[in-house]
Amino acid sequence: MRKKLSVLILLVTVPIFFFMAWFMSSRAFNLSLEQEKQRTQMTESIVFREIQGNMKNLAYTEAAAYAAQLHKYYLSQGIELIFCWNGSPIAGAELPSQDYEALLQPLQRTALLDTRGTPERYAVAEPVNNSLTMILLRDMSELYLLRDQYRTIAFWTAIIASALLTLLTLLFAGILIRPITRLTEAARAITEHTDQNVRLPAGGKDEIGTLSRAFSEMQDAVADREARLLEESEARQALLDAMAHEMRTPLTSLLGNARLLQHDLPEDERVKIADSMAREIRRLTDMDQQLMKLTVLRHEEPEIEQVSVSGLLNNTAVRLQEQAKGITIEVHGTDSMISGDPELLSLLCDNLTANALHVSEPGMTVTLTSVPGGFTVEDQGPGMNEEALKHAFEPFWKADKARTRRHGGAGLGLSLCMQIAELHRGKLSFDSAPGKGTRVTFTTALPTVDDSFTSPVT
């Protein structure tokens, strides 16, 4: 690019330099030429006034003799005079060329610049009387020689200036293009995934500096996005591996039961096998629904409304009462309003409560409590140790696999709950210990329009 830029500047500047050099030399020459013309005209006027009175009334013979004297006298002073009688030179003089005959106009002062001959001359003619005309000639050869010298100097000045400009262009182009070169290297590194740590200088406040900063920001954004994509890819692969492992058991059970049904079995055994197959199918269906919900939540925004926490908890208690089977569901706390998607918050509360019911035994109590900015779900079950708490939100992970199989859980509920909490800019926190039950607390950071309170609900 440096070479292209240098060639382009040469193509543009060299003609400009030559034009300027030619224009300036021509301008200087024309000014000098006009000054010489004026000097010649002034000299002619002075000489003409000196001789007009003496030659005006002379006859041809006297005029020719006097013209010879004047020619010799003024020639010694660097002034050439030619006198013409009725259009013909006298006193042995000759006109330099036929072009000078145009000066011989009766009763009219005329001038001529002769650039055809050598040397170049400027002539001024003025009639003394009807027969006699004086012509004064000035040698302009030195002026034209000086013009040629000016043009030669201007030509070489333009050449040197162009060469210097080319060198400066190469130097400054390298300085200006260096950030662009760094940008190119960084872009190529990102494209080829060779060196993601190529960093650009901060640069100044000009356009290049702004471009460098914008590219660095884009580079950081691309790196963050790649890191997130890699993390999501690993999480997705782990989910697929876990799902494949989780589905293997119910599918194997279904295949074995289907083969058993192909044999001639008593009616009660066939019913037991059919019930087992139905439970496995429900388990697969529940897994499919949970996975679909997880997938949808990754790509949608919640519809935010004002939700009554006590109303939310009471609705969950009513919906899951049938699943309780001897387990008491109680709702406590002071009502408050939170912002969120009513459907997703109901799903969150239902899943947490269902998990609490799954780990509870008949005669135990599951307590739903309204707290500022959210709610808690507490059970009296076996609780969880630190290892179980660490893996609680991993898909398909089960603290008590035997209990989970008995209740038909898919192991996706808490993963779904965590996704819903994150969509609401909230968090889920666990307080649990072996033998002391588990309390799960959900709180959201979404602002509410009206934090009104009502009387306690029990």
Q: pLDDT per residue over 330-382, tens digit each?
A: 999 999 999 988 888 888 898 899 889 988 999 999 999 999 999 999 999 99
d(CA 290, CA 416): 7
Write down the mean pLDDT value for the chain: 80
pLDDT tens sequence across 174-218? 776 776 777 777 677 766 665 555 565 555 666 666 776 777 777
Predicted confidence at residue 402, as pLDDT, reads 46
pLDDT above 60 for 397: no
Token readout for 62 is 């006297």
User: Tokens 């000014």 correspond to what residue?
Assistant: 31
Same domain as 54, residue 21: yes
Q: At what angle do helices 413-423 and 267-297 cross, to 10 degrees?
A: 20
Does some domain include residue 163?
Answer: no
Is the pTM here over 0.75, yes or no?
no
The secondary element (H helix, E strand) that includes residue 95 is: none
Same domain as 340, residue 291: no
The confidence band for 268, taking pLDDT boundaries of 50, 70 and 90, is confident
pLDDT above 50 for 455: no
Q: Which of 244, 279, 300 is the last residue of a domain?
A: 300
Q: What is the pLDDT averaged over residues 237-266?
A: 70
Q: Which of 82, 113, 145 is the last residue of a domain?
A: 145
Same domain as 386, residue 251: no
Same domain as 442, residue 357: yes
Same domain as 26, residue 136: yes
Same domain as 446, residue 323: yes
3-state secondary structure of 123: strand
* Residue 62 CA to its chain's centroid (Å): 95
pLDDT above 80 for 8: no
Q: Look up the CATH number of the domain holding residue 71.
A: 3.30.450.20
Does some domain include residue 151?
Answer: no
Q: Which of 249, 281, 300 is the last residue of a domain?
A: 300
Number of domains comprising the chain: 3
Predicted confidence at residue 458, as pLDDT, reads 37
Handedness of CA 83, 88, 93, 96 (dihedral sign): positive
Same domain as 80, residue 49: yes
Does some domain include residue 162?
Answer: no
Same domain as 276, residue 266: yes
pLDDT above 70 for 37: yes
pLDDT above 60 for 241: no
Predicted confidence at residue 322, as pLDDT, reads 82
Q: Look up the CATH number of the domain holding residue 245.
A: 1.10.287
Beta-sheet pairing, 337-340 with 121-127: unpaired
For 255-265, b/e burial (b = at least 16 CB within 10 A) is eebeeeeeeee
* Residue 91 CA to its chain's centroid (Å): 88
Task: Output 125 or 455, whichever has higher pLDDT.
Answer: 125
Predicted confidence at residue 362, as pLDDT, reads 92
Does some domain include residue 158?
Answer: no
Predicted confidence at residue 355, as pLDDT, reads 87
Same domain as 325, residue 264: no
Predicted confidence at residue 312, as pLDDT, reads 94
Does some domain include residue 159?
Answer: no
Predicted confidence at residue 405, as pLDDT, reads 45
Same domain as 417, residue 333: yes
User: Tokens 């008491």 correspond to what residue?
Assistant: 328
Does some domain include residue 183?
Answer: no
- Residue 353 burial by Cβ neighbours in a 10 Å radius (0-12, 13-18, 19+): buried
Same domain as 331, residue 291: no
Predicted confidence at residue 327, as pLDDT, reads 92
pLDDT tens sequence across 40-97? 999 999 999 989 888 988 999 999 999 999 999 998 888 899 999 998 999 889 999 9
Beta bridge partners of 376: 369, 441
Does some domain include residue 168?
Answer: no
Domain range for 279: 199-300
Same domain as 310, residue 235: no
d(CA 329, CA 334): 17
What lies within 8 Å, CB to CB, of 403 at 6+ separation is 358, 359
Does some domain include residue 455?
Answer: yes
